[in-house]
Amino acid sequence: MPSTHREFHRAERIGWLRAAVLGANDGTISVASLVVGVAAAGSAPADVLLTGVAGLVAGAMSMAAGEYVSVQSQADTERADLRREKSELETQPERELAELAGIYVQRGLSPALARQVAEQLMANDALQAHARDELGITETLRARPVQAALASAASFVVGALVPLATVLLAPAAQLALVSSASALLTLLVLGGVAARAGRAPVVRGALRVAFWGALAMALTAGIGRLFGTAV
């Protein structure tokens, strides 16, 4: 009896991993920048915490809404393409067979073998064969708007919890400093994880993410000190 063997490739997980890291980065940078800016303005810890919580809720909803709209548009396009393909299979089966065989010829099969493969695949599930090989739509890569929205919101919240935790734990006099330091450390870790997942230089990836986070926090802290009022 032949044994089954499944290989796990980095490409299978890199998409969702990058999306999760991006959401966490966004949550950390956005909420930490708000916290640092308001703390630098001399606001009370309770006001800083309220600002951070508001930023978390608003940011998570924004991420979810944006991801849902984007992926839903992709899903609508996929459904429209599948409807058109189904119609063409019903009205022009021979043309669709030749089209699928042509795809396999371009991939290196001989014309005779390509037609044989196309005939067998279409006999089994014609729409699935055309969706996969002509349209590039597979079950693994299908657009899932609700899943994408929930994942983006969740990753944003996870990243935002770090600066919120510092507001609760750090001394009021050092709130801006501690929040900045903890956020930068988090960004270094997230940047390193994203770089490692993509087989890029870990140190460079970590420093790149931390740089932009530091820049965002520095700008908001400068605005807070300049105006000296709570945002």
pLDDT of residue 17: 64
Query: Is pLDDT at 62 greater than 50 in this prediction?
Result: yes
Q: pTM for this structure?
A: 0.69
Other CB atoms closer than 10 Å to residue 203's CB: what's the count?
A: 12
pLDDT digits (tens, 9 = 90+) for 80-90: 888 988 898 88
Residue 231 CA to residue 225 CA, distance in Å, equals 11
Contact 56, 24 (CB under 8 A): no
Query: Is pLDDT at 198 greater than 60 in this prediction?
Result: yes
pLDDT of residue 164: 92
Residue 109 CA to residue 150 CA, distance in Å, equals 42
Q: Of 81-85, 205-209, 211-215, 227-231, which gets the smallest average pLDDT?
A: 227-231
Residue 196 CA to residue 21 CA, distance in Å, equals 12
Contact 189, 28 (CB under 8 A): no
Contact 206, 186 (CB under 8 A): no
Query: Is pLDDT at 55 greater than 90 in this prediction?
Result: yes
Mean pLDDT of the chain: 83
> In which residue are the tokens 């063409």 written?
88
Q: Counting beta carbons within 10 angstroms of the beta carbon of residue 144, is it exposed (0 to 12), middle (13 to 18) or buried (19 or more)? A: middle
pLDDT digits (tens, 9 = 90+) for 138-166: 766 666 788 888 888 999 999 999 999 99
Running DSSP on this structure, what letter comes out for residue 200? S
Residue 89 CA to residue 96 CA, distance in Å, equals 6
Domain boundaries, the chain: 12-225
| pLDDT band (50, 70, 90) for residue 201 | confident
